Amino acid sequence: MSGEAILSVRGLGVDYPVGRKLFPAVRGVSFDIRKGETFSVVGESGSGKTTIGRAILRVAPVSRGEILFKGERISGRIPAERERALRQGIQMIFQDPMASLNERAKIDYIVSEGLYNFRLFKDEAERRAKVEKALREVGLLPEFASRFPHEFSGGQRQRIGIARALVMEPELLVADEPISALDVSIRAQVINLMNRLKRDLGLTYLFIAHDLSVVRFISDRIAVIYRGRLVELAEAEALFARPLHPYTRALLSAVPLPDPEIESRRRFVVYDPSMHDYSKEEPEWIEAEGGHFVLGTPRELEAWSAGPGGAGA
């Protein structure tokens, strides 16, 4: 994993019109994703995590700030060639395998859709070869190309979605809750697949999720998001060993672990946002230790650092 940033998000703000007013789904989010790493953004519903992914792929409007891919701005108005490069360089995997494939199209078309859009093949034979390669890479048989989505199980459909993204030969994959809609026994298949692809193809992942305990297994670095703002960012193990922000602590204490003896000892900690008084002092994005960032005032940071250690076993 090299240290250079492949994706930079700077002060991203996304507002959604709700009736007359504007609802700020994302407020001033900044982070870098390094090439070859798995960077996870964890939050609950309404935290804005999905919106970040969509803003990167230009399917959600950016109201403030900018997003840079390999040094070039990809948010706002950009020339057509850059958009084209973006669509090939960054792709997305979706949450619900039952809704993310076009039921009335064959697998062949579904996987080739991106290729058709940008004419990424010389002739029919090359296109078919690319489709076959993508299907094999995700562990599906090439003969599946002539079938329809409803003939496949959830796990297989999710893998078709991954093949669809892979055929574009992207460098960065944004995975929006790719396993939460899958059965428990299928999740491992998809996780293993994603890890293997990362290794074999040198991919970088932005993994959006709501389950901290799952994210721990696959992530290099984790960012916690609450109501549109990042509250903590650290390397995976550091976050679990020393969670600083009270929301992170609450989140960690809330996630149940499949170990009854540990569970019987744990107590759930509630996060009350009104515990902060930001009327006098604005919170800053402070680096508590190397690479471990927290949103808070210096005084708060002192109090949190002195507190008890991690909630994860």
How near is the Cβ of 237 to other proteins at its closest, in Å? Answer: 9
The answer to whether the CB of 164 falls within 8 A of the CB of 87 is: no
Residues 6+ apart with CB under 8 A from 201: 166
Report the residue number, 103 or 284, with the smaller CB distance to other proteins.
103
Closer of 61 and 297 to other proteins (Cβ): 61
Q: Does 248 bind other proteins (CB under 8 A)?
A: no
Note whether 263 binds other proteins by CB under 8 A.
Answer: yes
To the nearest whole angstrom, how small is the minimum distance from the Cβ of residue 282 to other proteins?
A: 25
Q: Where are the beta strands (DSSP E) in 70-145?
A: 72-73, 90-93
Residues 59-88 that bind other proteins (CB under 8 A): 59, 83-84, 87
Using the minimum distance from each CB to other proteins, give the nearer residue, 146 or 279: 146
The interface region with other proteins, picked from 3-11, 12-20, 27-35, 263-271 by CB under 8 A, is 263-271
Binding mask 11-50 for other proteins (x = CB under 8 A): ---------------------------------xx-----
Binding status of residue 96 toward other proteins by CB under 8 A = yes
**Integer CA distances (angstroms), 160 to 1, 38, 109, 146, in order:** 27, 21, 11, 13
| Residue located via tokens 């019109």 | 17
262 binds other proteins (CB under 8 A): yes
What single string gives the DSSP state of each residue in 44-57?
A: -TTSSHHHHHHHHT
Stretch that binds other proteins, among 123-131, 267-275, 276-284, 287-295 (CB under 8 A): 267-275
CB contact burial 236-254 (16+ within 10 A = b; e otherwise):
bebbbebbbbbbbbbbbbe
Task: With contacts defined by CB under 8 A, name the span among 14-22, 29-37, 63-71, 149-157 that binds other proteins.
Answer: 149-157
d(CA 225, CA 233): 9
Q: Residue 243 corresponds to which amino acid? A: P
Provide the CB-side half-sphere exposure for 199 (13 A, CA): 6
Closest contact distance (angstroms) between CB of 150 and other proteins is 6
Nearest CB to other proteins, comparing residues 245 and 288: 245
List 296's β-bridge partners, or say none: 284
Window 183-242: residues binding other proteins (CB under 8 A): 183-189, 191-192, 195-196, 210-214, 216-218
